[in-house]
Amino acid sequence: MNNNPLIITVAAVGAETTREQTPYLPITAEEIGEEAKRVRDAGACMIHLHVRNEDGTPTQNREVFRRAIEEIRKRTDIIVQVSTGGAVWMTADERAQPLELNPQMASLTVGTCNFGDEVFSNPFPLIRRLAQIMRERDIVPEIEIFDVGFLDNVRLLIKQGVLAPPLHFDFVMGVPGAMGADDALLDFLISRLPEGSTWSVAGVGRFEFMMAELAIKKGGHVRVGLEDNIYIEKGVLAKGNAELVKKITDMAKDLNRPLATIEEAKKILRLKR
Ligand code: KMH
Ligand code: ZN
């Protein structure tokens, strides 16, 4: 059994979840700041951050990110990881905008896949460009793996000098159109990681808690949040992200995984600030 400190990341907002689906989705900068404090108090160390326009539509606008991060920083020391994935229709220029704020960390998706009825497009030139900006600004990437072949892309990107191990990965499992979510697949993914890697799992939809439990048992880290799943149990909406975090901290307690402090998380993730 693993007892290394557990990092819980909260994908609190996302680009696809709507207020029609759940009234608990934070949208404004103040709501995101309040939510960040609630999830930190509940035991999370990191927020995976998307932001929204006032009408609730997703945006990668730098100033909207700036305001949300300011509200987060007023209230909590949680690690901020901005999304560079944005929403499926966004251009590379839009997606890169939050990197101009020099966040501690940013997501970096390393391949293209179906995403429900859409395509999440990440051609190599876009990956190289986002990775280069992150390198120039000392922003640590979280490598998002939506499908198995993405790990082969990582090998290529390392060979080309675009990515430099050791790296932190997030296995996004259960997106319709990309890879599924099960124990054997997770073992396979872990077996294919470059040496020295750290990893977390984001189980999507009904896979969220099942995959979280497996990740905790195998010594990995966990991502939950309304971006990935809005239910606390079948047919029952989570009353916010903190309730999802609480379910993970209960699991961690049962499985003897201590929660990481912010300092421990920064060390594990090799953050520069
Ligand atoms: N919204 C998805 C299309 C990321 O944040 O890096 C992409 C996404 C990945 O959420
Ligand atoms: Zn995201």
Kindly list the averaged pLDDT for each block of 10 residues, start to end, along the chain of length 273. Answer: 92 98 98 99 99 98 98 98 98 98 98 98 98 98 98 98 98 98 98 98 98 98 99 98 99 98 98 93
Question: CA 96 to CA 38: how far, in whole Å?
Answer: 28
Instruction: Please report whether residue 73 resides in a domain.
Output: yes
Task: Tell which atom from ligand 1 comes closest to the C-alpha of 108.
Answer: 6
Instruction: Please report whether residue 2 resides in a domain.
Output: no
Domain enclosing residue 16, as ranges? 8-269
For atom 4 of ligand 1, the residue with the nearest CA is 85
The CA 260 to ligand 1 mean position distance, Å, reads: 25
For atom 10 of ligand 1, the residue with the nearest CA is 85
**CATH code of the domain in which 172 resides:** 3.20.20.70
Instruction: Please report whether residue 3 resides in a domain.
Output: no
The CA 49 to ligand 2 mean position distance, Å, reads: 7
Instruction: Please report whether residue 1 resides in a domain.
Output: no
Instruction: Please report whether residue 224 resides in a domain.
Output: yes
Query: What's the confidence (pLDDT) of residue 2?
Result: 81
Instruction: Please report whether residue 194 resides in a domain.
Output: yes
Residue whose CB lies within 8 A of the most ligand 1 atoms, among 144, 170, 228, for a mutation test: 144
Task: Quickly list H helices, the chain.
Answer: 29-42, 62-75, 92-96, 124-136, 150-159, 183-191, 208-218, 241-254, 262-268
Whole-model pTM: value is: 0.98
Number of domains present in the structure of the chain: 1
For atom 1 of ligand 1, the residue with the nearest CA is 87
The CA 183 to ligand 2 mean position distance, Å, reads: 23
Query: What's the confidence (pLDDT) of residue 157?
Result: 98
Query: What's the confidence (pLDDT) of residue 5?
Result: 98
Q: Dig out the tokens for 18 from the structure.
A: 């709507």
Question: CA 243 to CA 98: how far, in whole Å?
Answer: 28
Question: CA 124 to CA 23: how far, in whole Å?
Answer: 37
> In the structure, which protein residues have their CB atom closer than 6 angstroms to any atom of ligand 1?
15-16, 83-85, 87-88, 107, 109, 115, 120, 144
CB 204 within 8 A of CB 172: yes
The CA 185 to ligand 2 mean position distance, Å, reads: 22
Query: What's the confidence (pLDDT) of residue 3?
Result: 87
Query: What's the confidence (pLDDT) of residue 198?
Result: 98
